[in-house]
């Protein structure tokens, strides 16, 4: 399993950055290779991705969510194995550090090669840069979900 860490400072308050990240259907606007994310209920999402010509569908489950602090998830179906956490840290009233830690188990020879060449890390870095651009251009979140999901 490979671990990728990336952080970005965004020019919006912590609640704005956090609220936008809870809008999973908006992920295709800034995540390369993500075609669609459908929120099934408060903790489950269905993803469709196409990376390197390979289309995958999988479901994720949020396992920990604390408003303005963190969201953690894991895959629960499909042939994509990952878990991750995004953390939000208020730097001041108008700036937030957003840190993503992603653990991915590449499946198949193409994905294993891409992982070995650092493609996953570069993709995450680009996604975080695009999230910064996306939220700063908007200036406000497109929606929010501020519920609490406790581990276990």
Measured distance CA(58)–CA(25) in Å, rounded = 15
Tokens of 37: 């994310």
Question: What pLDDT score does 105 carry?
Answer: 85
DSSP code of residue 67? T
Question: What pLDDT score does 108 carry?
Answer: 73
Q: What is the pTM of this model?
A: 0.93
| Residue 140 vs residues 4, 16, 56, 99, 101: alpha-carbon distances, Å | 28, 6, 31, 19, 24
Cβ–Cβ contacts within 10 Å for residue 151, how many?
7
Q: What are phi and psi of 56, to 5 degrees?
A: -130, 145
- List of residues 6+ apart from 139 with CB closer than 8 A: 12
**pLDDT one-digit tens code per residue, 11-57:** 999 999 999 999 999 999 999 999 999 999 999 999 999 877 789 99
| Domains in the chain, CATH or no CATH each | 2-22+63-138 (3.30.530.20)
**pLDDT one-digit tens code per residue, 43-101:** 999 999 987 778 999 999 999 999 999 999 999 998 889 999 999 999 999 999 999 99
Tokens of 57: 């569908």
């Amino acid at each position: 399993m490979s671990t990728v860490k990336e952080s970005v400072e965004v020019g919006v308050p912590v609640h704005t950055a956090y609220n936008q990240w809870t809008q999973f259907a908006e992920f295709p606007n800034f995540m390369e290779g993500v075609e669609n994310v459908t929120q099934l209920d408060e903790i489950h999402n269905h993803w469709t991705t196409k990376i390197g010509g390979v289309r995958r569908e999988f479901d994720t489950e949020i396992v920990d969510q604390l408003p303005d602090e963190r969201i953690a998830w894991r895959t629960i179906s499909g042939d994509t194995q990952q878990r991750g956490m995004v953390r939000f840290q208020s730097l001041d009233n108008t700036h937030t550090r957003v840190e993503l830690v992603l653990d991915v188990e590449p499946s198949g020879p193409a994905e294993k090669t891409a992982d070995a060449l650092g493609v996953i890390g570069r993709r995450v870095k680009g996604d975080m840069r695009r999230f910064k651009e996306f939220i700063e251009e908007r200036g406000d979140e497109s929606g929010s979900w501020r519920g609490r999901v406790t581990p276990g």
